[in-house]
Amino acid sequence: MSDQTTTRQTWVAVGPSGAVGSIHRTDEGFAVRMPSRDSDEGAVFPTLAVAKSALFAALGPGADYPEFHEH
């Protein structure tokens, strides 16, 4: 019997026009998902801070930094 519990965490990135993406904790790190991209593609980042930066960079020039809400 294992005493380990896996906690799944998700953060939704919200911009002025609504949800722009999400970050999901995985066994390997933090995966970024964006609605405008194929859900099977995407990199896994070592920390939440790096994943947030990558999601913001993917929004493109002139985008506002989104708010991140944990769910």
Looking at the DSSP bridge assignments, the partners of residue 7 are none
Nearest to 63 by CA among 40, 34, 41: 34
pLDDT at 43: 83
Look up the pTM and report it.
0.82
Please report which confidence band the pLDDT of residue 13 belongs to, taking 50, 70 and 90 as the band edges.
very high
CA distance 30 to 46: 6
pLDDT at 3: 54
pLDDT tens for 26-70 read 999 999 999 876 655 678 999 999 999 999 999 999 999 999 999
